[in-house]
Amino acid sequence: MAHFVEIPVERLRSEVLQALLEEFASRDGTDYGERELSLEQKTGELRMQLARGELQLLYDTDSESWDLLPPESAALLLDD
């Protein structure tokens, strides 16, 4: 069974957070709407969503993977 923990993004080094955001923004199936954005624009938007609390960084200790999720979805995983 997966065990998730929230990672406070302010505790990450800037270059680590940037690498995570770039990896997330370039994942297959990531949709940013009708207009095409550059990687820099995508990571900037993700960074703003994290700052506003619209996304949370969760780490799965069992699979050693991570994801960015809205707070409602994150809460469901963190309550298990």
Q: What is the CATH number of the domain that holds 71?
A: 1.10.10.610
Average pLDDT of every residue of the chain: 90
Banded model confidence at residue 2, pLDDT cuts 50, 70, 90: confident
Tokens of 80: 């298990």
pLDDT at 49 over 90: yes
Structural domains counted in the chain: 1
Q: Determine the Cα–Cα distance for residues 32 and 45; give it in Å rounded to an integer.
A: 10
Q: Determine the Cα–Cα distance for residues 48 and 42; give it in Å rounded to an integer.
A: 10
Q: Domain residues for 59? A: 4-78
Contact 6, 56 (CB under 8 A): yes
